[in-house]
Amino acid sequence: MAKQLRWTLNRFHSKCPADLNPSPFQPQTVDRIRDFLQSHPAYQETPYHSLKQLAAHLNIHNLIIKDESLRFGLNAFKGVGGLYAMGRVVAERAGLDFSSLSFSQLLEPEARKKLGEMTFVSATDGNHGRGVAWAASELGHKCKIFMPKGSSFIRSEAIREEGAEVQITEVNYDETVRMCAEMAKENNWILIQDTSWDGYEEIPLWIMQGYSVIASELIEQFQKEQMELPTHIILQAGVGSFAASLAAYFTNMFPDHSPRIILVEPGAADCFFRSFTTHDGHMEQVNGDLATIMAGLSCGVPNPYAYRLLKNLADASFSCADSLSALGSRVLGNPIGDDDRIISGESGSIPIGLLYYLRTTEEGEEICKALSIDEQSRVLCISTEGDTDPSFYRDIVWKGYYSNLPAYSEIIK
């Protein structure tokens, strides 16, 4: 196999960031958010799978995959962030107290009368927009979604089906976010964006807190089954909000023995990897088309708040070729023996593709040593999406698209 990745240990790692004290991810806070989400009729805990045969094949102690494709019927995890953030916005505007709020209260005629019809807006590569569009329609408000150039038609149709107006722009993801922020200001729309900047911090934090419900479910699932905590969690990063919220929750829960956090990004949009390799850990960005099959991770500018958290909490960072994501989809879609089958799309499968590569190649051996990944390791990955572009998923899994190519060196300038 040609070289597929670059990686770095995170020299800035400290485990006790000032941003976690007091923490917006402490268990009591997240429990309340989970209660709110649970009050939605479609809420169901997503399942986890222990892939015993694959763990044995990779010579690790166990391998747990949480399957977020079943979240709210949206085929990806993003609804937990969108629904909570939008619920908070609506509750504040309707003058409702969040401390005991349930979803149905947001639909009561009193609240509706106060609010009138609001318009929400967001930029997305697909999954976040679908979550926002769905939440807006559940709450009975309008939604406008903008997607970067090159976005999948099938993903844009899935958002339209949730009742939103959708437009594909001529610019990349980060510029589409800027466009949406300006349009929101001009038109008095409410921006529900999953990344933050100076003066726009509250809603992205709510979105991140919504994501941390995934970690809270997981810990409960581990405890119910009397499973030991993972030693390593491999988290995929776009703007980093997802990875930071899970890392922060685990660190809050287990300050003395939190699992090692390993970040993974596409080589074409590896802003965390690049930032961790700078001499002083300043935040780097990647410009241009950010072309990768991992559409959900195609973000060149980190969320600065997520970056501050991950700079302290992540142990290592990987920048990978698309072929590792395709490998991950094939591995999960074609289980060994009686392991469960998991349908994992391009942004969902990269952690497993990376793990597979690390455990089966000579290059991986050295890296595993450095990260203490060995036969005792208990590894957790989150499959954050299913086949959100089903025909492309089949091209990968059936036809072997992106089998070994392009090699990493061909996509990195």
Catalytic residue ranges = 78, 125
- In the complex, least distance from residue 135 CB atom to ligand PLP, rounded to whole angstroms: 15
Task: Compose the 68-87 pattern: x for residues touching ligand PLP by CB under 6 A, - for all others.
Answer: --------x-----------
d(CA 209, CA 81): 7
| Residues between 98 and 137 with contacts to ligand PLP, criterion CB under 6 A | 125, 127-128
299 forms part of the interface with ligand PLP (CB under 6 A): yes
Give the other-Cβ count within 10 Å of 342's Cβ: 24
> Residue 385 or 389: which CB sits closer to ligand PLP?
385
| Residues between 181 and 200 with contacts to ligand PLP, criterion CB under 6 A | 194
> Which residues touch 322 (CB under 8 Å, ≥6 apart)?
266, 267, 268, 292, 293, 294, 346, 402, 406, 411
329 forms part of the interface with ligand PLP (CB under 6 A): no
Could you give the angle at which helices 390-397 and 153-161 cross, rounded to 10 degrees?
140
Q: By the 8 A CB rule, do 234 and 264 touch? A: yes
Give the other-Cβ count within 10 Å of 236's Cβ: 30
Pick the piece of the chain touching ligand PLP (CB under 6 A) from 184-192, 239-247, 250-258, 352-360.
239-247
- In the complex, least distance from residue 155 CB atom to ligand PLP, rounded to whole angstroms: 10
Q: What is the DSSP string of 236-296?
A: E-SSSHHHHHHHHHHHHH-TTSPPEEEEEEEGGG-HHHHHHTSSS-PPP---S----S-GG
> Which residues touch 158 (CB under 8 Å, ≥6 apart)?
75, 126, 130, 388
241 forms part of the interface with ligand PLP (CB under 6 A): yes
Residues that contact ligand PLP, how many (by CB under 6 A): 20
Q: By the 8 A CB rule, do 384 and 347 touch? A: yes
The single residue among 63, 239, 324, 331 that binds ligand PLP, judged by CB under 6 A, is 239
237 forms part of the interface with ligand PLP (CB under 6 A): yes
SS3 call for 31: helix
213 forms part of the interface with ligand PLP (CB under 6 A): no
The single residue among 80, 215, 269, 297 that binds ligand PLP, judged by CB under 6 A, is 297
- In the complex, least distance from residue 163 CB atom to ligand PLP, rounded to whole angstroms: 20
> Residue 62 or 151: which CB sits closer to ligand PLP?
151
The single residue among 10, 151, 172, 236 that binds ligand PLP, judged by CB under 6 A, is 236
> Residue 209 or 241: which CB sits closer to ligand PLP?
241
322 forms part of the interface with ligand PLP (CB under 6 A): no
- In the complex, least distance from residue 207 CB atom to ligand PLP, rounded to whole angstroms: 8
290 forms part of the interface with ligand PLP (CB under 6 A): no
- In the complex, least distance from residue 306 CB atom to ligand PLP, rounded to whole angstroms: 7
SS3 call for 162: coil
SS3 call for 373: coil
389 forms part of the interface with ligand PLP (CB under 6 A): no
258 forms part of the interface with ligand PLP (CB under 6 A): no
> Which residues touch 368 (CB under 8 Å, ≥6 apart)?
358, 359, 374
- In the complex, least distance from residue 46 CB atom to ligand PLP, rounded to whole angstroms: 13
- In the complex, least distance from residue 351 CB atom to ligand PLP, rounded to whole angstroms: 10
62 forms part of the interface with ligand PLP (CB under 6 A): no
> Residue 190 or 306: which CB sits closer to ligand PLP?
306
Q: What is the CA radius of gyration of the chain?
A: 20
| Residues between 340 and 379 with contacts to ligand PLP, criterion CB under 6 A | 347-348
Residue, CB closest to ligand PLP: 296
Q: By the 8 A CB rule, do 130 and 74 touch? A: yes
Peptide bond just before 406 cis, omega within 30 deg:
yes
The single residue among 24, 79, 230, 240 that binds ligand PLP, judged by CB under 6 A, is 240
- In the complex, least distance from residue 34 CB atom to ligand PLP, rounded to whole angstroms: 19
The burial class, CB within 10 Å (0-12 / 13-18 / 19+), for 150 is middle
Phi-psi region of 391 (alpha: psi -120 to 50; beta: other; left: phi over 0): alpha
Give me the residues that bind ligand PLP (CB under 6 A), please: 76, 125, 127-128, 194, 236-243, 296-297, 299, 347-348, 384-385
